[in-house]
Amino acid sequence: MQPGPELPAWLGFEMGDKERFLEKCGELAEYALSWDSPTVINHFDCDGITSGSIAVEALRRAGKKPKVLTLKKIDDDYINVNLVGKNELLFVDFGGTCKSIDQIKDAAIIDHHQTEGTKTLQANPQLHGFDGGREISSAGVAHLVFGVREDLAIVGAVGDVQAPLVSLNREILHEAEKKGTVEARLDLKAYGKNTRSLAVFLTYSDEPYLPGITGNEEASVALLEQAGLKNKPFETTYNDLPENEKSALRAAIVEYLSRSGFAGVSADLFGECYILKNQPEKSELRDASEFSTLLNACGRNGRFEVGMGVCLGEPGALDTAKEILAQHKKNLQLGIQYASKHTTDMGEFYLIDGRGQISDTIIGVVAGMIGTYRRDKPILALSIDEEGKIKVSGRAKEHMIKEGINLGMALKASAGAIGGVGGGHRQAAGASLPIGKTEEFLVLFGEKLCEQKTAQAP
Backbone angles phi, psi at 373, to 5 degrees: -120, -15
Q: Which is nearer to Mn ion, 192 or 368 (CB)?
A: 368
**Alpha carbon distance 269, 314 (integer Å):** 33
Q: Is the dihedral of CA 321, 182, 163, 51 positive or negative?
A: positive
Q: How far is the CB of 113 from Mn ion (least distance, A)?
A: 7
Q: Which is nearer to Mn ion, 51 or 372 (CB)?
A: 51
Query: What is the residue type of 389?
Result: K
Q: How far is the CB of 166 from Mn ion (least distance, A)?
A: 16
Candidates 75-83, 155-163, 298-306, 421-429; binding stretch for Mn ion (CB under 5 A)? 155-163
Cα→Cα distances 170→12, 165, 182, 414, Å:
19, 5, 12, 34
Q: Which is nearer to Mn ion, 47 or 284 (CB)?
A: 47
Q: Which is nearer to Mn ion, 47 or 135 (CB)?
A: 47
Do strands 89-92 and 67-71 pair parallel, antiparallel, or not at all (unpaired)?
unpaired
Q: For the beta carbon of residue 454, count every other beta carbon within 10 angstroms.
A: 9
Q: Which is nearer to Mn ion, 43 or 303 (CB)?
A: 43
Candidates 81-89, 92-100, 198-206, 285-293; binding stretch for Mn ion (CB under 5 A)? 92-100
Task: List CB contacts of 121: < 8 A, sequence separation 6 or more.
Answer: 24, 27, 28, 31, 107, 108, 109
Within 35-54, which residues bind Mn ion (CB under 5 A)?
A: 47
End-to-end CA distance of the chain: 36
If binding is defined by CB under 5 A, does position 151 make contact with Mn ion? no
Q: Which is nearer to Mn ion, 424 or 446 (CB)?
A: 424
**Alpha carbon distance 40, 53 (integer Å):** 9
In this structure, what is the dihedral angle of CA atoms 373, 379, 168, 206, given to the nearest 10 degrees?
A: -40
Within 313-332, which residues bind Mn ion (CB under 5 A)?
A: none
Q: Which is nearer to Mn ion, 256 or 291 (CB)?
A: 291
If binding is defined by CB under 5 A, does position 292 make contact with Mn ion? no
Q: How far is the CB of 160 from Mn ion (least distance, A)?
A: 5
Backbone angles phi, psi at 409, to 5 degrees: -70, -40
Q: How far is the CB of 154 from Mn ion (least distance, A)?
A: 13
Options 115, 118, 138, 162; binder of Mn ion; rule CB under 5 A: 138
User: Helix, strand, or coil here: 98?
Assistant: coil
Using alpha carbons, select from 19, 40, 65, 51 the residue that is nearest to residue 160. Answer: 51
Whether 422 contacts 411, CB under 8 Å: yes
Candidates 29-37, 87-95, 304-312, 332-340; binding stretch for Mn ion (CB under 5 A)? 87-95
Q: Which is nearer to Mn ion, 46 or 107 (CB)?
A: 46
Number of residues that bind Mn ion (CB under 5 A): 4
Candidates 138-146, 250-258, 314-322, 343-351; binding stretch for Mn ion (CB under 5 A)? 138-146
Which residue of this chain has its Cβ atom nearest to Mn ion in the complex?
Answer: 47
**Rg for the chain, CA atoms, rounded:** 22
Q: How far is the CB of 200 from Mn ion (least distance, A)?
A: 30
Q: Which is nearer to Mn ion, 114 or 383 (CB)?
A: 114
Candidates 159-167, 204-212, 241-249, 347-355; binding stretch for Mn ion (CB under 5 A)? 159-167
If binding is defined by CB under 5 A, does position 160 make contact with Mn ion? yes
**Alpha carbon distance 143, 121 (integer Å):** 17
Q: Which is nearer to Mn ion, 171 or 447 (CB)?
A: 171
Q: Which is nearer to Mn ion, 151 or 160 (CB)?
A: 160
Cα→Cα distances 222→192, 203, 255, 256, 266, Å:
19, 11, 13, 11, 19
Candidates 73-81, 153-161, 196-204, 393-401; binding stretch for Mn ion (CB under 5 A)? 153-161
Q: How far is the CB of 407 from Mn ion (least distance, A)?
A: 15
Q: How far is the CB of 298 from Mn ion (least distance, A)?
A: 16
Q: How far is the CB of 42 from Mn ion (least distance, A)?
A: 10
Cα→Cα distances 169→65, 123, 173, 293, 312, Å:
29, 15, 6, 19, 21
Whether 276 contacts 231, CB under 8 Å: no
Using alpha carbons, select from 327, 293, 328, 277 the residue that is nearest to residue 192. Answer: 293
Options 57, 93, 151, 284; binder of Mn ion; rule CB under 5 A: 93
Query: How does DSSP classify residue 445?
Result: H
Q: How far is the CB of 338 from Mn ion (least distance, A)?
A: 27
Q: Which is nearer to Mn ion, 229 or 298 (CB)?
A: 298
Candidates 84-92, 154-162, 177-185, 283-291; binding stretch for Mn ion (CB under 5 A)? 154-162
Residue 380, beta-bridge partner list: 351, 394
Instruction: Catalog residues that contact Mn ion under the rule CB under 5 A.
Output: 47, 93, 138, 160
